[in-house]
């Protein structure tokens, strides 16, 4: 069974008197372990699709199953729970809590799922070590470089062992060298069996993925698989 | 476990928010401080007045009955009119009581007037002139500072002697030894045989501005009128209810009342005075606390305002927290804890200031006193203010749409 299963998903927004159809009747399946890039110009609906896949939003119509759970019917609290359990987010602007150190940032999802303090600490330290920041755990975001910040964000996304890693323009705020570092990290995570969904408008970045889905005007314009990328 | 972790997280966030916005936190806290100070001081003032009153009134003695025509309290105008027609009390009634009561330790008639007292060229006006007997010290709870009080023989006879209150001694004699001197009351000469110890005030009435003379001397020399009251102190081993019952029966016999006739006298006790005073201060407390709590209310609005600003400022943080799994409850709790922390912090500072102010007020104005109850109440009220004031902003934060929140700058 596929990890992500979208069936006839539509999402409309009301903008004054006008109704905007951000997604029109989109159907999509993503299997466990896939590395997918979602591309499209701004206004194509890729952010909307990402929000839906990430359970931050629910569709106006259609059916969404994530890991066997019917997300389209969930209320606010159930969505929060499933985000905590199933999804790790990596944002373009990192979105770390600026007043907390790296360790606390990574611990946060574990606090929300109620893990005991000592175990939480161990798991968080482990996740930071995995992204190569074992020696930066007590640094605050403003004491870290951009690449290091994004690594903290990746550690935070992975710490709950989610079934899906969802990255929104993860290299958008990084220079090309650190961007490449992050992409290498993603490559490695993919090899270890994680499911990755990458939202980007950069062809170079999308090339790392094994499958590229292109959106245009709220519809899937193309969906093609490709050989292993340059990484 | 989960809940505890969330509260710990909330406390950590509050601490960070407080110290990273010092000026704003200080201003928000100031409102609460002022509110808590005013409310606490009001409570302390009422508490202090009550305590001072209890201390004063306990001098009257819980085991003393005051037989009089009038009931002290809870009178309607009609009651008062009918009580005014009652037969007055006379010395013979007191004498009959002395003979017939078995459970009483002492029976003391008292009659008073207000007059000026002169010594040489000096005079003191509006002094309470009290005619009574030797038992008066036992029922009124005074003591003798100098000289002696009336003896049983003085009480029965009519020697022109007097015992003066502390204030009278100070005002008339100014350091001279009053014992053996003669003072003039209503154009009669009295020899001072004793000075009473300082007693203070009762309901603003000075207990030191008085002169005590033998009751017969009063009746023959000053005013041959009815007694104010007859004070009966119950014997040491007597049950108070029994003593009161006996007193009532004997009074009825003296007044020749038939069983179907109601009492034509009243038996008053100190506890009625206490109850009356408490009902008065309770009224003051309700009004006072209402007015002072307005200050706290304004402080609460300040907190609400600050929390709204805080929520708007941290919209993105709220979005991030929601994205990684914070539920509505978690966000709500986070902001409630923050508001409660500001208020508790303000409350504690307010209590500190109120404590100092209480010391100052007690020193220079009137007795005030903080009690454990007031302290606990103040902290709880501060906490409650925080939770109530923080609720609306916190609710708004909790209901935020994560997509919108993440998009905000």
pLDDT, one tens digit per residue, over B370-392 is 888 888 888 898 899 999 999 99
pLDDT, one tens digit per residue, over B8-27 is 888 888 888 778 778 888 88
Of all residues in chain B, the percent with pLDDT exceeding 70 is 97
User: For the residues B165-182, what does the mean pLDDT come to?
Assistant: 90
Question: Is the per-residue pLDDT at B258 higher than 60?
Answer: yes
- ipTM score here? 0.93
Residues in chain A within 8 Å Cβ distance of B327: 76-77, 80-81, 112
Tokens standing for residue A67: 């890991």
Of all residues in chain B, the percent with pLDDT exceeding 90 is 30
Rounded CA separation A7/B294 (Å): 58
DSSP single-letter state for residue B233: E
Decide if B367 touches A, using CB distance below 8 A.
no
- pLDDT class of B203 with cuts at 50, 70, 90: low
**Confidence (pLDDT) at A139:** 95
The CB density around residue B285, as the number of other CB atoms within 10 Å, is 18
In B, minimum Cα distance to A104 occurs at: B9
Question: How far does B357 lie from chain A, in Å, by closest CA?
Answer: 38
- Quick check: helix, strand or coil at residue B382? helix
The residue extents of the domains of chain A are 33-50+75-225
Decide if A140 touches B, using CB distance below 8 A.
no
Which residue of B1, B325, B406 is in closest CB contact with A109?
A: B325
Which residue of A81, A99, A117 is in closest CB contact with B325?
A: A81
**Confidence (pLDDT) at B14:** 81
**Confidence (pLDDT) at A210:** 94
**List of residues 6+ apart from A103 with CB closer than 8 A:** A121, A124, A125, A128, A137, A138
Residues in chain B within 8 Å Cβ distance of A80: 322, 325-328
Rounded CA separation A154/A90 (Å): 6
pLDDT, one tens digit per residue, over B97-147 is 989 998 888 999 999 998 999 998 888 888 999 999 988 888 887 889 999
pLDDT, one tens digit per residue, over A169-212 is 999 889 999 999 999 999 999 999 999 999 998 898 999 999 99
Q: Which residue has the higher pLDDT, B273 or B197?
A: B197
Q: Are B337 and B16 in contact (CB under 8 A)?
A: no
In A, minimum Cα distance to B5 occurs at: A111
Tokens standing for residue B30: 């100031």
- Residue ranges in chain A modelled with pLDDT below 50: 231
Decide if A57 touches B, using CB distance below 8 A.
yes
**Confidence (pLDDT) at A231:** 45
Residues in chain B within 8 Å Cβ distance of A83: 322-325
pLDDT, one tens digit per residue, over B329-362 is 999 998 999 898 889 989 999 999 999 998 888 8
Tokens standing for residue B32: 């609460």
In A, minimum Cα distance to B12 occurs at: A100
Rounded CA separation B264/B242 (Å): 20
| Interface probe, candidates B319, B323, B327, chain A, greatest A C-beta count within 10 A | B323
| Planar angle of CA B394, B395, B399, nearest 5 degrees | 120
- pLDDT class of B78 with cuts at 50, 70, 90: confident
Decide if B322 touches A, using CB distance below 8 A.
yes
**Confidence (pLDDT) at A230:** 52
Beta partners for residue B253, in sequence order: none
Q: Do B324 and A76 touch (CB under 8 A)?
A: no
Decide if B316 touches A, using CB distance below 8 A.
yes
| Interface probe, candidates B5, B12, B14, B324, chain A, greatest A C-beta count within 10 A | B324
- pLDDT class of B1 with cuts at 50, 70, 90: low
Q: Are A178 and A132 in contact (CB under 8 A)?
A: no
pLDDT, one tens digit per residue, over A90-110 is 999 999 998 899 999 999 999
**Confidence (pLDDT) at B315:** 94
> What is the biggest distance separating any 2 CA atoms in chain A, rounded to whole angstroms?
54
Burial level of A219, CB count in 10 A (0-12/13-18/19+)?
A: middle
Q: Are A113 and B325 in contact (CB under 8 A)?
A: yes
Tokens standing for residue B100: 């017939």
**Confidence (pLDDT) at B17:** 78
Rounded CA separation B171/B159 (Å): 24
Pick the CATH number of A33-50+75-225 from 2.60.40.10, 1.10.10.10, 3.40.50.300, 3.40.50.720: 3.40.50.300
The A residues from 172 to 231 touching B (CB cutoff 8 Å) are: none
């Amino acid at each position: 069974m596929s990890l992500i299963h979208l069936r006839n998903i539509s999402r409309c927004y009301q903008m004054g008197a006008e109704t905007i159809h951000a997604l029109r009747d989109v159907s999509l399946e993503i299997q466990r372990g896939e590395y997918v890039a979602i591309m499209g110009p701004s206004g194509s609906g890729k952010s909307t699709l990402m929000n839906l896949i990430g359970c931050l939003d629910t569709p106006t119509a259609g059916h969404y199953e994530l890991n066997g759970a019917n997300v389209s019917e969930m209320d606010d609290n159930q969505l929060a729970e499933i985000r905590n359990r199933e999804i790790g987010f990596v944002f373009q602007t990192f979105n770390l809590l600026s007043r907390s150190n790296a360790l606390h940032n990574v611990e946060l999802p574990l606090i929300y799922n109620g893990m005991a303090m000592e175990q939480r600490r161990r798991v968080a330290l482990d996740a930071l070590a995995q992204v190569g920041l074992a020696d930066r755990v007590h640094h605050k975001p403003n004491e870290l470089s951009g690449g290091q910040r994004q690594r903290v964000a990746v550690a935070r996304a992975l710490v709950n062992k989610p079934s899906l890693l969802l990255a929104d323009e993860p290299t958008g705020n990084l220079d090309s060298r650190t961007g490449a570092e992050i992409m290498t990290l993603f490559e490695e995570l993919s090899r270890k069996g994680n499911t990755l969904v990458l939202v980007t408008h950069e062809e170079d970045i999308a090339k790392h993925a094994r499958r590229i889905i292109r959106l245009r005007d709220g519809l899937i314009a193309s969906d093609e698989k490709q050989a292993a990328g340059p990484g | 476990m989960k809940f505890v972790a969330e509260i710990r997280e909330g406390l950590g966030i509050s601490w960070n928010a407080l110290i990273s916005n010092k000026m704003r936190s200080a201003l928000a806290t100031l409102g609460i401080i002022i509110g808590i100070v005013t409310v606490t001081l009001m409570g302390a003032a009422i508490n202090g007045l009550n305590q001072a009153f209890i201390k004063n009134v306990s001098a009257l003695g819980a085991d003393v009955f005051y037989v009089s025509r009038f009931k002290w309290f809870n009178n309607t105008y009609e009651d008062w009119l009918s009580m005014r027609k009652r037969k007055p009390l006379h010395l013979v009634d007191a004498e009959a009581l002395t003979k017939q009561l078995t459970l009483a330790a002492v029976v003391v008639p008292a009659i008073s007037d207000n007059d000026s007292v002169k010594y040489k060229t000096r005079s003191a006006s509006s002094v309470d002139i009290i005619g009574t007997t030797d038992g008066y010290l036992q029922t009124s709870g005074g003591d003798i500072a100098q000289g002696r009080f009336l003896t049983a023989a003085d009480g029965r006879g009519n020697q022109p002697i007097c015992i003066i209150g502390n204030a009278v001694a100070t005002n008339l004699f100014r350091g001279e030894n009053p014992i053996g001197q003669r003072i003039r009351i209503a154009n009669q000469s009295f020899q001072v045989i004793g000075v009473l110890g300082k007693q203070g005030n009762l309901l603003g009435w000075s207990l030191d501005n008085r002169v005590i003379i033998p009751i017969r001397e009063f009746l023959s020399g000053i005013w041959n009128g009815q007694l104010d009251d007859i004070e009966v102190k119950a014997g040491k081993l007597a049950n108070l209810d029994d003593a009161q019952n006996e007193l009532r029966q004997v009074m009825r016999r003296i007044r020749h009342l038939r069983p179907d006739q109601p009492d034509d006298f009243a038996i008053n006790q100190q506890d009625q005075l206490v109850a009356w005073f408490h009902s008065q201060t309770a009224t003051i407390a309700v009004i006072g606390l209402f007015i002072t709590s307005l200050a706290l209310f304004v402080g609460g609005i300040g907190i609400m305002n600050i929390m709204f600003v805080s929520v708007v400022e941290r919209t993105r943080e709220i979005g991030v927290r929601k994205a990684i799994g914070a539920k509505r409850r978690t966000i709500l709790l986070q902001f409630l804890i923050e508001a409660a922390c500001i208020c508790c912090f303000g409350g504690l500072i307010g209590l500190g200031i109120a404590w100092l102010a209480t010391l100052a007020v007690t020193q220079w104005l009137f007795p005030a006193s903080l009690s454990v109850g007031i302290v606990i109440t103040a902290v709880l009220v501060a906490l409650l203010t925080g939770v109530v004031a923080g609720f609306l902003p916190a609710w708004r934060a909790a209901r935020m749409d994560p997509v919108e929140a993440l998009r905000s700058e």
